[in-house]
Structure 1
Amino acid sequence: MSGRGGERGERAERRERREPPPPGLLVVDKPAGWTSHDVVGRARRLMGTRRVGHAGTLDPMATGVLVLGIERATKLLGHLALDTKSYLATIRLGLATTTDDAEGEPLGAPADTGALTDAAVDEGVAALTGEIAQVPSSVSAIKVDGRRAYERARAGEDVVLGARPVTVSRFDVLATRTEGPFRDLDVLVDCSSGTYVRALARDLGAGLGVGGHLTALRRTRVGPFTLARARTLEVLGAEQEEHGRAGLSLDLDAAVAVAFPRRDADADEAAGLAHGRPLPAGGAAGTVGVFGPDGHVIGLVADDRGAARPVLVLAPA
């Protein structure tokens, strides 16, 4: 075969022969306007594999840390301790919206926030700090009778969600600005998984009697993964151009070492765990990463009924 058709065929054959990337985590600095699924699709092309998954979904308007699993590391995502998160956000006081953020329609006319005192704002923030009961936004991804709440809300249904316990361990006002009738607050939030920063903006505005919504959101940390490890899609694209595929943020061994306490196994223990057999109890609380004599991760275990039983085997088949 010759000509352009032959060249295309040769390129296709090279793609088919190309080895899959090594397993690990890719920490992406998600751009605004992209869904988490959009980022997964882009990562599949950047990494040259279909085996890509994500943990800790971000709204399209949000930017920041999105953790992706590549190849065998997709199995790791459900076991990562991603139960604490940190955000930088901007809350606009003076107007509520249908979605609790800037993408929604205004609910009524703007309120004048000129009479709001710093003390009142601080009191409102304090009331939303600690262990609180929070009603998620009606456009959240929570399922109601098998359908996402946002699907029902956008179809015109009246979606009412129940309050859920969440923990806001830090809610600091970093700066304030006056924008016409509005008061904008730049805030830092540390919270448990399942906390909606949009709902904090809504509830703060409601408590102050002026309404509120979120205008910007940037996730700076999820579990142990911070923006320091995150790379933009532009940087990843440049890596692909230069090397044929983008590089991992953490290979599988490093990912487990960062996310879990470490236990080293001897050759017999490593071989047994690779085949799903338990190890002697190690005495550690929670899930532990087990590494073989060669320094590579074998799997995750947790003490149960007098033995360290496999939670996940990560050694290649």
Structure 2
Amino acid sequence: MLNGILVIDKDKGMTSADVVYHLRRVLHIRKIGHAGTLDPEVTGVLPIAIGQATKLIEMMHTRPKEYIGTGLFGYSTDSYDATGTVLKEKKLIHPFSSAEIQENMNKFVGEIVQVPPIYSAVKVNGKHLYEYAREGIEVERPQRRVEVKQYDLTKEPVFDINTGQESFDFKIKCSKGTYVRSLVNDLGEKLDCPATMTYLRRTASSGFDITQAVKLKEIEENPEKATELIQPIDAFFKEYTQVDLTEGKWLKVKNGAGISLETNAKKVALRYNKKVKAIYEKKGKLYRPSLMLLQNE
């Protein structure tokens, strides 16, 4: 039985659910789920929790995500990316300087209120926004608070004098629920020039990055490689205070009992036989169960 996180480098054209379906079929495991949906047009890091690691999915969502991408000044679309219908167009006479673009990117860094694109999976009254969009029904989109930790240019923007369009490459680090498409669209609004996202790749998510990722095709062609490529559950808790349990305390933990520990950490990863078996949280004078991972072998 596999237990851990398989970091997939998702290809363009696949949904996150597609990846889970293919892995279930090739690995013959039902207990699989993904953390952090990627749009079909977006590539990159898609963490797949397998076995006991499926218990971590909610925690995985809380970790920051990182992206690299490309935006384009010159037109905007209803989906905020190049797949949508063009709404506005504007030819640039003079391109924006790197300093102008970066100055306005900086205005989005921090905690902001964001309105998701109409073509998104956000639900209103039990229905996805993209369903309303496809039916031509206007609906008020809910605002959400997100945190943008970084929004930077990564190289000099490129101006095409023939089209009057200017492309720019960026890097973003943000909290869960952040729509990068919206950040590109809203940057255009700040500069009074329509903008859309033309490319996006996620480079990190849930504490894992692209250097740890593997292509789905590699697993499909060699299913046995999943055992050596999977990230152990313990890797997710590397920043936690680790406590190795004595035989006596392990017996208590197995039964979900509270225990005393010589540490002041709010949460601790409890290990037995060199594996994390539980996450305990301090409540009063004792540490009590927050998450049980007894089958982590």
- 1:178 is displaced (CA, Å) by 2.2
Aligned match for 2:30, one of 28, 50, 57: 50
In structure 2, distance between residues paired with 1:123 and 1:30: 32
Which residue number corresponds to residue 101 of structure 1?
A: 81
The answer for the alignment partner of 1:26 in structure 2 is 6
Q: CA deviation at 1:245?
A: 5.9
What is aligned with 1:6? none
Aligned-partner Cα distance in 1 for 2:122–2:288: 32
Alpha-carbon distance in 2 for matches of 1:314, 1:259: 17
Question: 1:144, CA displacement in angstroms?
Answer: 0.8
- Which runs of structure 1 show a deviation greater than 4 angstroms over 4 or more consecutive aligned residues? 244-248
Which residue of structure 1 lines up, in the alignment, with residue 177 of structure 2? Answer: 194
Following superposition, the deviation at residue 218 of structure 1 comes to 0.5
* Distance in 1, Cα, partners of 2:211 & 2:240: 19
Matched, 1:267 2:250: no
Distance 1:120 1:168 in 2: 19
Structure 1 partner of 2:144: 164
Tell me which residue corresponds to 2:264: 283
| TM-score normalised over the length of structure 1 | 0.85
1:250 is aligned to 2:226: no
142-151 or 72-81: bigger deviation: 72-81
1:77 maps onto 2:60 in alignment: no
Which residue of structure 1 lines up, in the alignment, with residue 66 of structure 2? 86
How far did 1:81 drift?
Answer: 6.3
The equivalent of 1:302 in structure 2 is: 281
- 1:177 is matched with which residue? 158
SS state at 1:80 partner: helix
CA contact (8 A) 2:95 2:159 kept: no
Residue 234 of structure 1 is matched in structure 2 by: 217
Q: Distance in 1 between matches of 2:136 and 2:61?
A: 36
Contact kept, 8 Å, 2:63 with 2:207, in 1: the verdict is no
Q: 1:129–1:169: 8 Å Cα contact kept in structure 2?
A: yes
The 1:315/1:48 distance shift into structure 2, 3 A limit, reads same
Shift in Å, 1:229: 0.8
Distance in 2 (alpha carbons) for counterparts of 1:97 and 1:151: 17
Answer with 141-150 or 92-101: which moved more.
Answer: 141-150
Q: How big is each residue's C-alpha offset from its partner over 1:187-232, in whole Å with a ceiling of 9 and x where there is no partner?
A: 0011111211100011011121121111111111113210111101
Question: In structure 2, the residue corresponding to 1:279 is in which secondary structure?
Answer: coil
Give the residue type in structure 1 aligned to 2:264.
G
1:153/1:263 CA distance change after superposition, 3 Å: farther
Q: 1:138–1:160: 8 Å Cα contact kept in structure 2? A: no
Find the aligned partners of 1:192 and 1:245 in 2 and give their Cα distance: 29
1-side partners of 2:225 and 2:107: how far apart? 52
What amino acid is aligned across from residue 279 of structure 1 in structure 2?
Answer: I
User: Structure 2: where are the runs of 5+ without partners?
Assistant: none
Alignment of 1:123-134 (within 5 A): 123-134=103-114
Aligned 8 A contact 1:224 1:259 in 2: no
| Distance in 2, Cα, partners of 1:183 & 1:198 | 17
Larger Rg: 1
Name structure 1 gaps, 5 residues minimum: 1-20
Q: Is the 8 A contact 2:158 2:167 kept in 1?
A: yes
Q: Which residue type is aligned with residue 43 of structure 2?
A: T
Q: Sequence identity of aligned pairs in percent?
A: 33
Distance 2:34 2:146 in 1: 22
1:87–1:189: 8 Å Cα contact kept in structure 2?
yes
Tell me, in whole angstroms, the C-alpha distance in 2 between the residues paired with 1:145 and 1:227.
36
The total of aligned residue pairs comes to 291
Q: TM-score, normalised by structure 2?
A: 0.91
Q: Which amino acid aligns with 1:316?
A: Q
Q: 2:200 corresponds to which residue?
A: 217
- Asked if the contact 2:78/2:117 (under 8 Å) is kept, the reply is no
Q: Is the 8 A contact 1:82 1:222 kept in 2?
A: no
Letter matched to residue 56 of structure 2: L
- Deviation for aligned residue 1:140: 2.1
- Point out the more displaced range, 63-72 or 266-275: 266-275
CA distance in 2, matches of 1:143, 1:304: 36
Residues 77, 85 of structure 2: 8 Å contact kept: yes
Letter matched to residue 90 of structure 1: T
- Partners of 1:85 and 1:259 lie apart in 2 by 17
